[in-house]
Amino acid sequence: MEQLCVSVEQIKMQNLNIQTTVNFLSENYDDLKNKLQHLEVQLETERKNNLACLKTLEDRLESLERGARSSCVEIRNIPFNKSESKEGLLNTVIKIGSTLNVPFQPQEVKDIFRIGSKDSENRTIVVDFTSNLRKEKFIQMYKKYNKENSKLSTETLKISGPSKPVFVSENLSPKMKRLFFLARDYASTNDYRYCWIKNGKIFMREKDGAQHIMIKDESGLSKK
């Protein structure tokens, strides 16, 4: 009987030790769980702050890029000549200006060059004017010419080779080119009559007399 009592006491002591251990582990588990939850909240807050900071930097970079392109126009479908020079390109653009009835002097161009394209024989020409006003006038007269005459083409400009339409537009950043593509697609599928670019900004109008809408980003299309 005495041995049995000793055994029972030992079992009680073991149970007490086990309970103490379980309580200790439970407290540590709860503490660890709270720390992990706090860490998750902290990491999520930091993630959101980093995304907001990244968005701000991207917006600033996009703004700088738009500013750098604000006085530029793109001219497409002018055949590429391997021996051409900047002077030759400038003379071609001056000829285009004369045809559009918007003559300008060589000193009104800061820079002129071609940019890469899948079609190496038909790389786009970028003209950087000395002022936004000159750029806007050039595009305006191009649109007016196409309305009042047959479309501007290489034949019109007396450029040798098969006749190709010549296109003049604003020089957009890659982000704005994609947004303009999406805006035109949205306008086409949702019966918007007008979608255009002015001063590097994208606008849409559903019909004549309706208020125009400026599209700043892709979310502007999804909210319509």
Which pLDDT band holds residue 83 (cuts at 50, 70, 90)?
confident
Whether 102 and 184 map to the same domain: the answer is no
Q: Average pLDDT of the chain?
A: 87
Task: List the beta bridge partners of residue 203.
Answer: 196, 214
pLDDT digits 0-9 by tens, 117-159: 676 677 899 999 999 999 999 999 999 999 998 899 999 999 9
Cα separation of 113 and 168, whole Å? 15
Whether 12 and 23 map to the same domain: the answer is yes
- Count of structural domains, the chain: 3
Whether 5 and 27 map to the same domain: the answer is yes
| Structural domain containing residue 62 | 1-68
Whether 76 and 166 map to the same domain: the answer is yes
Cα–Cα distance list, 155 to 1, 123, 140, 164 (Å): 120, 18, 21, 7
pLDDT > 90? residue 81: no
- Amino acid 119: pLDDT: 66
Number of Cβ within 10 Å of residue 57's Cβ equals: 10
Whether 26 and 45 map to the same domain: the answer is yes
Whether 87 and 115 map to the same domain: the answer is yes
Please name the helix (run of DSSP H) or strand (run of DSSP E) that holds residue 110, with its range, or none: strand 109-114
Whether 86 and 157 map to the same domain: the answer is yes
Q: What's the CATH number where 115 sits?
A: 3.30.70.1820
User: What are the φ/ψ torsions at residue 128 (nearest 5 degrees)?
Assistant: -105, 105
Around 111, how many Cα atoms within 13 Å sit in the side-chain half-sphere? 8
pLDDT > 80? residue 91: yes
- Amino acid 223: pLDDT: 59
Whether 95 and 114 map to the same domain: the answer is yes
pLDDT digits 0-9 by tens, 46-65: 999 999 999 889 888 888 88
Handedness of CA 26, 29, 35, 38 (dihedral sign): negative
Whether 27 and 92 map to the same domain: the answer is no
**Runs of H (alpha helix) within 121-200:** 132-148, 174-189
Structural domain ending residue among the three candidates 131, 150, 170: 170
pTM beyond cutoff 0.75: no
Structural domain ending residue among the three candidates 68, 90, 114: 68
Whether 74 and 50 map to the same domain: the answer is no
Encode 20-54: b = buried (16+ Cβ within 10 Å), e = exposed: eeeeeeeeeeeeeeeeeeeeeeeeeeeeeeeeeee
Cα separation of 67 and 147, whole Å? 29
- Amino acid 6: pLDDT: 67
Which pLDDT band holds residue 110 (cuts at 50, 70, 90)?
very high
